[in-house]
Structure 1
Amino acid sequence: MGDNGNTGLGAPELASSEALRTVAAGAATLAQGAQGDGVRALQEALGAIGDPMKADGSFGPKTHAAIVALQAAEDLPQTGIVDAATIAALDRRLAARRAPPLDEALARAAGLSPDQVAALGRKSSATQASAAPSRHDQDHFTDANKLPQVVPGAEPDPDSPPPAVDSVGDRAAAAVSGALAADRSARLDQVRRALGGDAPALAALDRLLAAGRLHTGALLPNLATMAGVRRDPRLVLEGGIDPHLVLAQAIRHVDNPLRVKQGACHGTCGAGTMEYVLLRVDPAEFVRIVDGITREAGEVTLRSGRAIRMPRSAIERDASGRVDIDRLFQSALMNHATAMSWIFDYDNAEDNDSFWAALGGDSRVPLGNFTSLFQDIMGGSYTSVSSLLRSGASVAGEVAGAMGRGERVPVLLKWEGGYHWVAAEKIERGADGAPAAVVLRNPVGSDSCKGTPPRAPLPEGCGRFRMKYADLAAHIDGATIKG
């Protein structure tokens, strides 16, 4: 996708025309009798997909017939009028025509010949023929299977909608009545076009709309900006990641933050917890950061004024079990958490090489560094509270007070002989008003609730659990508190 008016058009033949960008945005149409540079660009695009005609800038019978044929082939109403749906169909056809040059680009990136890339594609197709098709194979960038050394491949996205009843109560209280304002409606259409036929992402977008979350605020504008800006080409060439997939996963994470996973064999529990809390508290900011780190520049300025960037090692897929957006976002957080990231880039594949890994032999982010990064991300003032300096009961009391104010609190627990970051979400009080239990979320995305600390799973799963307040006080090591 290009930077041409945030239309969502990917083909330069179309995106370079202001008239066609206006059509793609749903603000105009072209029909027989129209004239001008927009018609000329339309005719050139039709010629590129196999309908040769003179590009004279005059919308005559031949152009009308070519549009009707395109609409018939795409199962659209055969009106002969060029509307947003027709332009989107033409855009897809132009993208399909560019597949052979893309093979050549993949070959150059991998140091192979085009024939070798084609052979890899045939081999990969044969290997996958007996397996159930993944969502990535069905609706996304199918040339990714030609990229060598992409291990283990696209992680299937969880398609489950959020729980019908959210025990934390942060789903929108009620839908906003009435239609979107005209400018927001145009932005929503732009996001829909960029998603193409991604049914799970479109369903998530519809849920956000029904809950009134797109009617006001920065979420929809940030999604529209993301839909209209080109992603870093290395995502495709090195990771096999369809640019549309980044937008789709961002929307689905906003709809259901319980999708966030820390990743197997990765010490990214702090980053996973931070990602989850940001999605709960300020999803528009989450979208803005993801948009920034996945652009070609690979970085974005945080609210603190500091820049966060995605390390290149995050692009290639790993065996952590995370969907792409979790791996990219969490790697950027891990890289930013070290005070010396300009010397020791975080290495996602090895889950090390940060400054603190060099010192301690692991990638665990210390409490102070976590709080500093959390403050950069969230804005405002945050402080660390630790059981090294005060009793666990006192630290738990600080956490309970913050949750009583409606905050979600990153908490570091003593966990199975080590330490583990989780998100504390809700305080439950007894009949006497004293804290009785707390609801937390494990960033792993699941929790058997065996071992220490003692805890019990909640019905919705996805890493949510409940523990007694006394057990929280007994096992808490530290927390990051607002103020």
Structure 2
Amino acid sequence: MGDNGNTGLGAPELASNDVLRSVAAGAAALAQGAHGDGVRALQEALGAIGDPMTADGSFGPKTHAAVVALQAAEGLPPTGIVDAATIAALDRRLAARRAPALDEALARAAGLGPDQAAALGRASRAVQASGAPSRHDQAYFTDASGLPQVVRGAEPDPDAPPPAVDSVGDSPATPASGALAADRSARLDEVRRALGGDARALAALDRLLAAGRLHAGALLPNLATMAGVRRDPRLVLEGGIDPHLVLAQAIRHVDNPLRVKQGAGRGTCGAGTMEYVLLRVDPAEFVRILDGITREAGEVTLRSGRALRMPRNAIGRDASGRVDIDRLLQSALMNHATAMSWIFDYDNPEDNDSFWAALGGDSRVPLGNFTSLFQDVMGGSYTSVSSLLRSGASVADDVAGAMGRGEKVPVLLKWDGGHHWVAAEKIERGAGGAPASVILRNPVGSDSCQGSPPRAPLPEGCGRFRMKYADLAAHISGATIRS
């Protein structure tokens, strides 16, 4: 999702520039006489599609002529002014330029002949041209176009915990009576020392203690283990992540899972939803997994026995606006869920996994892959339910039943012409006991609730919203529920 609303940009040379993202979101424009990094990135992109020029950051006559030529070729008004439509056209040209290389990669990896792979790529791009959702299509995640509170750059993270009894209906934790046992008190001291003077993380730790969440269970031991193990040195050298920061961010996320964000310009809604659900359901396991992937080995054994590995290209900070642990964990989850991941790794800087990018032009986690990943992470047995096989009302009934058993359910919704993963947290029933509405959370981290599906924001914000049950049934595409 774009940090000025959805930009739909797929080309990293465009998506990584704040000015061009603003232009793509309709919040700005560039014209002759403009100067700066946005113009330089524009010139580099124009040069990449065949209009060589010196990328000097000055929008002069040659840049103006190249823009007019692009607009004329794309059937746009030849104004020479770079607006959202012009940036989208440039993005499509850049994507088309990469297509032959993706076709060739697919051929080598999947054992297809070059002609077969090229034909498959052409068919996929024809589907995109027909209006099917794609990461290069502004209709892919258009919900963010109606999010006025999504501002340029990273949004401030919430530093207060969710209400003790919030609109999701969770009961407050019962504070444990008495002091911590001696061994736990010593482990808590280890965590405090590792945090140094991080006031926000220490305050979050104090709230966890006051709520009784450190008196029993694996959460405190797992935090202490994380505090006592050195992180992968590449985190510091390549990502600028201080040694205590992974621990500090983990504690703040456990204190308030609403801090989780999918990230601007990232198609990681499935991974963001999974991260959020794991924090709500089993925060101790969240800490254990994060500890494992940020060690020097870069991997951890999941409950299924399979290994979760963090892609090295996830270490460097990007323009997504996510805190470090969101970027690291979501990239690892995307990589694990990728079809043919033994050949194609998820690429965080480009937000694709090559295989799905070759087929559809975007990063994505298909329903079946998501369910397999969810089962690996959560343990136990899970199954996919899909409106392709049954009615939406039947799928919604399965989701309602799961929420009635206390599950937090990852749900794939039809969302402004595309698809979007969200977390379904609570079913609300009417006077007669029939389902009336559902409480869900958007992994973007905010939602003004404009566009489709119909929904209304909740007071606590941070992406939570309410939908009528009938609208859930009408817009549900699939879900992952416990078997």
The TM-score normalised by the length of structure 1 is: 0.67
Deviation of residue 477 (structure 1)?
0.3
Whether 2:259 is the aligned partner of 1:259: answer: yes
Any gaps of 5 or more consecutive residues in structure 1?
1-151
Deviation of residue 249 (structure 1)?
0.3
Alignment-derived partner of residue 431 in structure 1: 431
Alignment-derived partner of residue 371 in structure 2: 371
Partners of 1:182 and 1:459 in 2: how far apart? 41
1:288 counterpart SS class: helix
Alignment-derived partner of residue 219 in structure 1: 219
Partners of 1:278 and 1:389 in 2: how far apart? 28
Alignment-derived partner of residue 385 in structure 2: 385
Matched-pair contact (CA < 8 Å) for 1:156–1:323: no
Q: Structure 1 residues 153, 400: CA separation in 2 closer, same or farther (over 3 Å shift)?
A: closer
Partners of 2:354 and 2:185 in 1: how far apart? 44
Q: Structure 1 residues 164, 395: CA separation in 2 closer, same or farther (over 3 Å shift)?
A: same
1:248 counterpart SS class: helix
Alignment-derived partner of residue 249 in structure 2: 249
Deviation of residue 342 (structure 1)?
2.5
Q: Structure 1 residues 405, 373: CA separation in 2 closer, same or farther (over 3 Å shift)?
A: same
Partners of 2:332 and 2:480 in 1: how far apart? 20
Matched-pair contact (CA < 8 Å) for 1:176–1:212: yes
Partners of 2:296 and 2:199 in 1: how far apart? 27
Whether 2:317 is the aligned partner of 1:317: answer: yes
Alignment-derived partner of residue 394 in structure 1: 394
Q: Structure 1 residues 419, 156: CA separation in 2 closer, same or farther (over 3 Å shift)?
A: same
Matched-pair contact (CA < 8 Å) for 2:231–2:296: yes
Matched-pair contact (CA < 8 Å) for 2:392–2:476: yes
Alignment-derived partner of residue 161 in structure 1: 161
Alignment-derived partner of residue 178 in structure 2: 178
Matched-pair contact (CA < 8 Å) for 2:412–2:477: yes
The residue type equivalent to 2:335 in the other structure is N
Q: How many matched pairs? A: 332
Cα deviation 1:339-370 (Å, max 9, x = unaligned): 32232111101101343223222111100000
Partners of 1:188 and 1:263 in 2: how far apart? 32
| Larger-gyration structure (1/2) | 1
Partners of 2:475 and 2:326 in 1: how far apart? 28
Any gaps of 5 or more consecutive residues in structure 2?
1-151
The residue type equivalent to 2:174 in the other structure is A
Deviation of residue 164 (structure 1)?
4.6
Q: Structure 1 residues 236, 167: CA separation in 2 closer, same or farther (over 3 Å shift)?
A: same
The residue type equivalent to 1:446 in the other structure is S
Cα deviation 1:141-163 (Å, max 9, x = unaligned): xxxxxxxxxxx999864433333
Partners of 1:245 and 1:172 in 2: how far apart? 28
The TM-score normalised by the length of structure 2 is: 0.67
Partners of 1:219 and 1:465 in 2: how far apart? 29
Matched-pair contact (CA < 8 Å) for 1:412–1:422: yes
Output aligned runs, 1:275-354, within 5 Å: 275-354=275-354
2:317 counterpart SS class: coil
Deviation of residue 253 (structure 1)?
0.3
Matched-pair contact (CA < 8 Å) for 2:351–2:363: yes
Deviation of residue 165 (structure 1)?
3.4
The residue type equivalent to 2:223 in the other structure is L
Q: Which has the higher contact order (CA 8 A, sep 6+)?
A: 2
Partners of 1:236 and 1:344 in 2: how far apart? 26
Partners of 2:450 and 2:319 in 1: how far apart? 24
Cα deviation 1:150-202 (Å, max 9, x = unaligned): xx999864433333532224454310111111100000000000001111101
Output aligned runs, 1:120-199, within 5 Å: 157-170=157-170, 172-199=172-199
Partners of 1:320 and 1:207 in 2: how far apart? 29
Alignment-derived partner of residue 76 in structure 1: none
Partners of 1:272 and 1:464 in 2: how far apart? 14
Partners of 1:431 and 1:276 in 2: how far apart? 31
Matched-pair contact (CA < 8 Å) for 1:409–1:424: yes
Partners of 1:372 and 1:482 in 2: how far apart? 12
Q: Structure 1 residues 371, 323: CA separation in 2 closer, same or farther (over 3 Å shift)?
A: same
Percentage identity across aligned positions? 90
The residue type equivalent to 2:224 in the other structure is A
Q: Structure 1 residues 290, 153: CA separation in 2 closer, same or farther (over 3 Å shift)?
A: farther
1:424 counterpart SS class: strand
Partners of 1:216 and 1:372 in 2: how far apart? 30
The residue type equivalent to 1:184 in the other structure is R
Partners of 1:158 and 1:467 in 2: how far apart? 24
Matched-pair contact (CA < 8 Å) for 2:204–2:251: yes
Partners of 2:394 and 2:454 in 1: how far apart? 20
2:244 counterpart SS class: helix
Matched-pair contact (CA < 8 Å) for 1:198–1:248: yes
The residue type equivalent to 2:200 in the other structure is P
The residue type equivalent to 1:160 in the other structure is A
Alignment-derived partner of residue 447 in structure 2: 447
Partners of 1:230 and 1:216 in 2: how far apart? 25
The residue type equivalent to 2:362 in the other structure is D
1:433 counterpart SS class: coil
Cα deviation 1:56-88 (Å, max 9, x = unaligned): xxxxxxxxxxxxxxxxxxxxxxxxxxxxxxxxx
Larger mean CA deviation between 424-433 and 157-166 belongs to: 157-166
Partners of 1:367 and 1:470 in 2: how far apart? 22
Partners of 2:426 and 2:291 in 1: how far apart? 30
Partners of 1:412 and 1:379 in 2: how far apart? 21
Cα deviation 1:94-145 (Å, max 9, x = unaligned): xxxxxxxxxxxxxxxxxxxxxxxxxxxxxxxxxxxxxxxxxxxxxxxxxxxx
Partners of 1:414 and 1:322 in 2: how far apart? 24
